[in-house]
Structure 1
C-alpha cells in the first residue's frame, strides 16, 4: 500500500513537469544546498510556477545574491555596528553600508529615511554614547554593543533575516547586558542596505531589569529611582542643549527653564516610548541628545519643547501598526500586492 502511494506521488510529479533534483552527499564548491541558494524557479519549472506566484522583487530585477554573500553582507553591517567600529562608520557621515535612499525602522523608536540620518542614528548615536561615558554631566539609560553572535539566519535573493544576541555595555551599570535584536534587511544590487526593519526582543523586560539594577545601585525604591533618573536625564539633555543649541537653534532660555520643562511638562515615558506612540516624552529626548552634536540644526528641535517632529504625539497604536512605510522594493512575498 505504501509503495503504491509513493508511486502515485512520483507519477503525479512527473506529469506536472516537476523535475527530481538529486542531492549528493559529496562536498563540492560548485554544488549548493537547495535550501540555501536555489530560487523557486530552479526547483519548479515555468510550466508549474506561474508568473503570478513569483516574488515581485524578482520581477523588478532585484539582485540575486547567494546565501553566503547575504551572510557576509549581514556580518559586514553587524561588525560596523559594534563599538569601536561604529565610531569609524559614524565619521563617514554618509555610510555606504546604506543606500542613499535607505528606509529604516526600529520598533522602539521611529522610522529613519536617507543615508545620513541612518548613519547618525545607527552608528553615531551609540558611538557618541560610548564617547560620553566618562562625562560626569552625561546620563542615559541606553547602552552600546561591544560583541554579537548570530543565533538564527535565513536569506534568499536579496533579503536576509537574522536574530542576533548582542552584549551591550550600559555606562550606568557595572556589567554588560544581553539584548536580542531581530532584523529584516533588503539589499540593493550594490550590496547596500536599502530597507531594514529591526525589533528589540524582550525590550520591556530588559528595561525592568535595568531599573531593578539601578534601584539596587542607589539603594532606593522603584519610584525613587525613576525620580532620580528623571533629574539626571533632564540635566544631561539640558547640558547638551545649552552647549550645542545656540542662536537660531536655541531651544531653551536657560538651564533652569530646560530642566523645569523636562521634569514637569513632559512624561517620563514607558519603555516603548523612545520614539513610538506617545513619544512626547523625556525618554525620547534622551535618545536624541546623542545626535545633537552631529547636526544641531536638524537635531536641536528634537530635544526642545516642540519635539521637532520626532518627540511628538502624532500617531496612535493603530497608526503605527498600519503604517505601510517601506516602498523602495517589496519584502519578497507579502499580502501587500506581492501576489
Structure 2
C-alpha cells in the first residue's frame, strides 16, 4: 500500500521495528531499513517542506510564541542558514527536524513552537556521546 505522508510511514516503521507495550512481539519484525528514499532529492520538494514549516509556524506560533517576523523571513532563514538534513538525522539542528515537529505544533504550541524556531528548541546538533550517555541508548522510545 501507500501512505499519505512521510510521518505515517515513520510511525508504521517504528511499530514494525520497536516492540509496543501490551502488544505481542511481531514474528517478522524489521531488523533494519533505509531512510534515504524518504529524503527529498529535488529543490521543489525541499522548498515544499520549508513552506510547510513556515505556514504552520505563522499560523500557530503567534503572540509570545512567535518565532519568525514573517513567512518570508522564515523561508530565508531555513533556506540559507539552517542545514537541510535527512531523516536519519531528524533529531539534529536541521530543516527536517523542524519539519517533523510541525505535525505536533498545532497540538501543543507552547511546547512545540520552539522546536520549529530559528534556534531549534530540541532540534539541535548533538554529539555522539549524547546518545551513548543515555541510560539505555539501544532501547526503543516509548
| Other-structure match for 1:301 | 114
Aligned residues: 127
| Other-structure match for 1:27 | none
Conservation of the 8 A alpha-carbon contact between 1:230 and 1:263: no
The list of structure 1 runs, each at least 4 consecutive aligned residues, that deviate by more than 4 angstroms after superposition, is none
TM-score computed with the length of structure 2 as normaliser: 0.75
| Other-structure match for 2:124 | 312
C-alpha distance in structure 2 between counterparts of 1:235 and 1:200, whole Å:
34
| Other-structure match for 1:263 | 79
TM-score computed with the length of structure 1 as normaliser: 0.34
Conservation of the 8 A alpha-carbon contact between 1:203 and 1:271: no
Gaps (5+ residues) in structure 2?
Answer: 24-29
Aligned-residue RMSD, C-alpha: 2.9
| Other-structure match for 2:56 | 240
- Pairwise mapping of residues 1-339 of structure 1 onto structure 2 (< 5 A)? 142-144=6-8, 166=12, 179=13, 181-185=16-20, 201-204=32-35, 207-208=36-37, 210=38, 222=41, 225=42, 227-275=43-91, 279-308=92-121, 310-313=122-125, 315-325=126-136
Gaps (5+ residues) in structure 1?
Answer: 1-129, 134-139, 146-165, 167-178, 193-198, 215-221, 332-339
Could you list the per-position Cα deviations for residues 269-321 of structure 1 after superposition, in whole angstroms to 9, with x for gaps in the alignment? 0331111xxx000000010001010111110110011211x1012x2123213
Q: Normalized per residue, which structure has more strand?
A: 1
